[in-house]
Structure 1
Amino acid sequence: MRLLVAQIGARRHYAVPRVLHGAGMLDRLVTDACGDLFPWSLADLVPAFLRRDALSRLAARSSGLPRGKVTGLFIFTVSALLGPSRRKPGGNNISWWLHRNRRFNELVIGKGFGSADGVYVFNGAGLEVLKEAKRLGLFRVLDQTSAPMRHDAELLISESERWPDWSTEADSIYNWLPMAEREEEEWQLADRIICGSEYVAEGIRVLGGPAKKSRVVPYPCDHGMQPPATEHVTPAEKQEKRCGQRSNNLMQSRTRSTAGLHILFAGTLNLRKGLPYLHEAIRLFGAGRAKWRIVGPPAISRQALAMLGRVAEVRGAVPRSEMVEHYAWADILVLPTISEGSANVCYEALARAVPVITTPNAGSIVRDMIDGFIVPVRSPASIAEKLALLEGNPSLLQEMSLRALERSREFTVNTYAFYLENAIKY
């Protein structure tokens, strides 16, 4: 079987087309843009101070595929770069995405499916391709990258009502319905639905979707962010590097009560990621009791951002290449998410030997009390309690750090390739 992958953006750093290519199952990738293709391959020639952020991000994308295997949609990409922003505060972004997704599908179909005998698309962005593939009698795979949109919309509307001073979104459940209906029609057209976690698969089942089509395939840990085993730095070593205390080959430990935990949040700053509960957890634990760092693009009100800035260091959006430094700084990642597919930051943190405190709705591979803690949704008190436990027990934190690194090595690209190939075929 040879699949045409239709993908907007660099989802999971092109893991799907790369894996399919390695298995001899990729016909080609059709995408908006990537740094391998002209003219984006010339972006490095433009001085950094002249580049727009969007151009820099495009230039940094590399599919890792032979150029003959990648088709870019230049006009589609330029129209997004030059057109109106999709992130107007208080605006309805859903209609923008609906239009873009439909247009992307039209362009993919216009390019033809070549010698492919199947297609691989992503939820909300593959309906028309799936319809055409069905008409042609081709095999159809849908990657469900998140919990079902109808489920998410209901959760997020509830959060907006609970935290009116935090949200910048004016969308209601009714604005989301067209995208949710589009996604649910994709379920019916697909032969296989690939889910990153049991949480996603369960969401499809609860909504009455075709659960028998679902296959759970956890994502690979980003081992580009993982230090070699011989270079692993334990939490105790991190502390001593901060203090500059070494005596011959023996490191003199520094207690947590003196040094304080380094606690990281990474991801978009929005209601979905549980930012109000992070803020409350900081208050309960004590802002001055630890060093708190929040990294990611803001999508909350200015008032809420200012509130976070008073209790934590807020870095904003950073290039992915810089995240290695933030994970190296961190002792713990906290992600109090309301809903995900399978949160990428959890995989990244484990690969950097950083234990994770998150919720069941993260769809993560974190194991409770082994390489982190799974706490209830909307429970800042539980987060503060686990942080206090780790603060008072450095040996537990160090043990969890080691277990985190070991856990990440169970989820390699090769493992992902094996399970994805089998999920598609069987």
Structure 2
Amino acid sequence: MIKDEQNLKSAVLHSFPGIGKFTSETIKAYDEAGWLAQMFTTIIIHENSKWVKIIRLLAPKIIYKFKNRNFSEISSKKIKLYPYKEIIRLFAVRYLSLTTTDKIWEWAELSFDKWVASKLSKKIKIIHSYEHAAMYTFERAKKLGIFRILEQTSRHYGAVNTLIDQQFEKYPNLRSAYIKRLTGRHLLRRNARKKKEHDLADLIICNSSFTKGTLVDGNVDERKIIIVPLAFPKPAVQINYPNVIPKIHFLYAGSLSVNKGTHLLIEIWNNHFSDNADLLLTLVGKNLLPDLLTANLPSNVKLIDFVHQSELNKLYDQANVFVFPTLADGFGMVITEAMARGLPVIASRNSAGPDLIKHGHDGLLINAGDDQDLLDKINWCIANKDQLKKMSTNAHNKAKSWQWENYREKLIEKIALKLNIDA
């Protein structure tokens, strides 16, 4: 039983097999509140770690390859690692097929969950875990009387399946062996696991109204759901949006996939803008679409594979409009990244778009899967390019208003409210 904040001093365990901006900020929030006992993960590059210092001395290129895993904001003594199977997964990502990589990912994720479960003790008062990496942990935590927080970073597993199925019916050439694996018995097994996590959780944190809505529609108890939108990255000090736009540059970043709606963007571009020399579309991200969709793109479309954040920021700065036509996304951090660089965003309503964008003021909202709506908004930008600079300024100002320190404060405040304690 958690009676007061003093009872939570060094009593929270944070568990996630990766490390990203949203997880690192959650960990920092717990640490700043004095609640964090430990964080469990797979691979972290901590500046005070002895093995990191040794590898940096002997093989600095290895450390550089893991630069996205840098995290030194808390004491290294609070970090426990389970790296071995993650290393195998990373090898698979680089050298093996999507189907094989998916199998290895699931194996590694479940192994991590079991490892965390084995390390729990009654000293821990709260366990904070994430979807598909929490079931074994929560089962053990319940037996120990530990309060269980699930952070739901994606939509409910049953949401928008009809919408996605409609895309496969309309575009049958989108199917692949990888997609079939993700829509067969493997999906049913994973969904059963996620349902168990929802049932076991005492509190579920969503980062968008859309995600919460899908959970409620999926019969998850609304009383245990809270919303804390993720913050904007630090805004660009200065935006240099042009007064006159001779050639409008549209940008998309994220995986090229059915779920992200990129097939719709490509289809629209091929049918309506392929011969327009005054337009440019840049698609950034790993291509998960069948090759025939991207094999013969028009000359005013540029396809770029994965880039690091510093390179992506340069692409944001070169673009005029960011397009995010996802069919379903729990949040969509690229929306906040683009707005922080002063980009107006065309975003699907099946994302955090409605939480972040005031339609017509700092961006435009579209209905997910509606190719006509997406076409209309692209045409609006072309016909009203004189209004894009003002929209850019508004987007940049919006980013300034909700930063990560605001997120951390609000997260602890809302958790404390649910626990009925003062923070």
Of residues 140, 143, 146, the one that matches 2:151 is 143
Tell me how far 1:47 sits from its aligned partner. Answer: 7.0
Shift in Å, 1:72: 1.4
What residue in structure 2 maps to residue 70 of structure 1? Answer: 79
Please say if 1:119 is aligned against 2:108: no
The correspondence for 1:341, drawn from 325, 330, 352, is 330
Residue aligned with 1:100, SS: helix
Q: 1:298 aligns with which of 282, 287, 293?
A: 287
Residue 217 of structure 2: aligned partner: 206
Structure 1 residues 201 and 100, CA, compared in 2 at 3 Å: closer, same or farther? same
Match of 1:373 in 2: 364
Partner of 2:116: 108
Partner of 1:249: none
1:235 aligns with 2:254: no
Query: Is 1:416 the equivalent of 2:423?
Result: no
> How far, CA to CA, are the matches of 2:146 and 2:12 in structure 1?
9
Q: Structure 1 304/30 Cα, relative in aligned 2: closer, same or farther at 3 Å?
A: same
Equivalent pair of 2:132/2:193 in contact (CA under 8 Å): yes
Deviation at 1:76, TM superposition (A): 2.9
Alignment check: 8 A CA contact 2:256 2:263 kept: no
1:48-73 CA deviation, whole Å, 9 max, x = no partner?
8x76xxx7553332223221222111
Q: CA 1:175/1:150 → structure 2, altered by over 3 Å: closer, same or farther?
A: farther
Q: Equivalents in 2 of 1:400, 1:411: separation in Å?
A: 18
Of 11, 15, 20 in structure 2, the residue corresponding to residue 6 of structure 1 is 15
Q: Cα 1:152–1:116, aligned 2, differ >3 Å: closer, same or farther? A: farther
TM-score, scaled to structure 2: 0.86
3-state SS, counterpart of residue 165 of structure 1: helix
In structure 2, C-alpha distance between the alignment counterparts of 1:379 and 1:308, rounded to whole Å: 22
Aligned equivalent of 2:196, options 169, 185, 189: 185
Check whether the contact 2:92–2:101 (CA below 8 A) recurs between aligned residues. no
Q: 1:203 to 1:388 in 2, by over 3 A?
A: same
Match for 1:217 among 216, 223, 228?
228
- Any idea what the Cα deviations from partners look like across 1:339-361, whole Å, max 9, x if unmatched? 00010100101111101001100
Deviates more, 1:211-220 or 1:392-401: 392-401
- Matches of residues 15-414 of structure 1 in structure 2 within 5 Å? 15-36=25-46, 37=49, 39=51, 57-63=65-71, 64-82=73-91, 88-89=97-98, 91=99, 95-113=103-121, 115-151=123-159, 153=161, 155-168=163-176, 169-171=179-181, 172-223=183-234, 226-228=235-237, 231-236=238-243, 254=244, 256=245, 259-287=246-274, 288=276, 289-308=278-297, 311-364=300-353, 365-414=356-405
SS at match of 1:294: strand
**What is the identity percentage for the equivalent residue pairs of Structure 1 and Structure 2?**
21
Q: Distance in 2 between matches of 1:358 and 1:84?
A: 29
Q: CA deviation at 1:4?
A: 0.5
- Secondary structure of 2:172's aligned partner: coil
Measure the CA separation in 2 of the matches of 1:309 and 1:114.
61
* 1:371 to 1:62, Cα distance in 2 relative to 1, 3 A: same
- CA 1:6–1:153 in structure 2 vs 1: closer, same or farther (change >3 Å)? farther
- For 2:78, give the aligned amino acid: K
Aligned-partner Cα distance in 2 for 1:121–1:15:
14
Match of 1:247 in 2: none
In 1: Cα distance, 2:288 partner to 2:279 partner: 25
Question: With structure 1 as the length reference, what TM-score do the two structures score?
Answer: 0.86
Q: What are the Cα deviations for residues 268-290 of structure 1, in whole angstroms up to 9, with x where unaligned?
A: 11111101111123235413331
Whole-Å separation in 1 of the counterparts to 2:160 and 2:94: 23
Indicate conservation of the 8 Å contact 1:105/1:125, yes or no.
yes
Tell me if the contact between 1:346 and 1:366 (Cα under 8 Å) persists in the aligned partners. no
Q: Secondary structure at the match of 1:170?
A: helix
In structure 1, what is the Cα distance between the partners aligned to 2:133 and 2:352?
A: 21
When residues 25 and 155 of structure 1 are mapped into structure 2, their CA distance, relative to the original with a 3 A threshold, is: farther
Is contact 1:34-1:62 (8 Å) kept? yes
- TM-superposed CA distance for 1:108, in Å, is 1.5
* Secondary structure at the counterpart of residue 158 of structure 2: helix
Alpha-carbon offset, residue 217 of structure 1: 0.8
**Is contact 1:222-1:347 (8 Å) kept?**
yes
**Residue type of the partner of 2:311?**
E
Q: Identify which range, 282-291 or 205-214, moves more after superposition.
A: 282-291
Q: CA separation of 1:86/1:149 partners in 2, compared to 1, >3 Å: closer, same or farther?
A: farther
1:39 Cα offset (Å): 4.3
Deviation at 1:135, TM superposition (A): 0.9
Matched residues, number: 397
Q: Name the counterpart of 1:240.
A: none
Q: SS at the partner of 2:30? A: helix
Q: Residues of 1 paired with 2:78 and 2:251: CA distance? A: 38
Q: Which runs of 5+ in 2 are unaligned?
A: 1-7, 419-423
> 1:235·1:401 contact (CA, 8 Å) conserved in 2?
no
Q: For residues 127 and 208 of structure 1, what CA distance do their matches in structure 2 show?
A: 18
Cα distance, 1:109 vs structure 2 = 2.6
What CA distance in whole angstroms lies between the structure 2 residues aligned with 1:86 and 1:183? Answer: 29
2:295, 2:56 → 1: CA distance?
A: 35
CA contact (8 A) 2:206 2:212 kept: yes
Aligned to 1:219, the other structure's residue is in SS state coil
1:239 equivalent in structure 2: none
